[in-house]
Amino acid sequence: MSKPKHPRTLDETQAQAVTWNIRVSPRKLNLVAGLIRGKRAQDAVAQLTFSKRRIAVTVKKTLESAIANAENNHSLDVDRLVVSKAEVGRAMVMKRFHARGRGRASTVEKWFSHLKIVVAEQQLAAPVAEQEAA
């Protein structure tokens, strides 16, 4: 006997992509993730393409993976996708030491992060002509 199938936690109009153990602190990653929250998927990709931050390349790859998952696995319309969530979480912290004067040492913490991006298909608003006729 096999285990029962894990139920899907997202709606039918959502798709996600997750990247684990990114070598950047959660604080810095959250600044870049904040740039794309709530935006249309194509606008978010454009924003990340021209961002000067190093980690924007990794965030862009994760976003493009979420868009591809939506299109290929869930048959969602790419033109109507919106970044509904961009969650950043703490991962492990590598502890290193830095030699100091008089034989002492201080710790250096190298932070890692997790990133989860959820894209959702947005319903199109009714055209203006239909609203005026009603």
Range of the domain at 95: 14-122
Interval 45-60: pLDDT, tens: 999 999 999 999 999 9
CATH number for the domain that contains residue 104: 3.90.470.10
**Within a domain: residue 76?**
yes
Interval 30-50: pLDDT, tens: 999 999 999 999 999 999 999
Q: What is the distance between the alpha carbons of residues 89 and 125, in angstroms, rounded to a whole number?
A: 34
Q: What is the distance between the alpha carbons of residues 59 and 16, in angstroms, rounded to a whole number?
A: 13
**Within a domain: residue 3?**
no
What does the block give as tokens for 54?
């190093």
C-alpha dist (Å) from residue 12 to 8, 39, 122: 9, 20, 12
**Within a domain: residue 43?**
yes
Instruction: State the total domains in the chain.
Output: 1
**Within a domain: residue 127?**
no
**Within a domain: residue 57?**
yes
Residue in 59, 62, 49 with CA at minimum distance from that of residue 26: 59
**Within a domain: residue 63?**
yes
Q: pTM for the whole thing?
A: 0.87
Q: Which helix (H) or strand (E) holds 34?
A: helix 26-36
Residue 18 pLDDT > 90 = yes
**Within a domain: residue 7?**
no
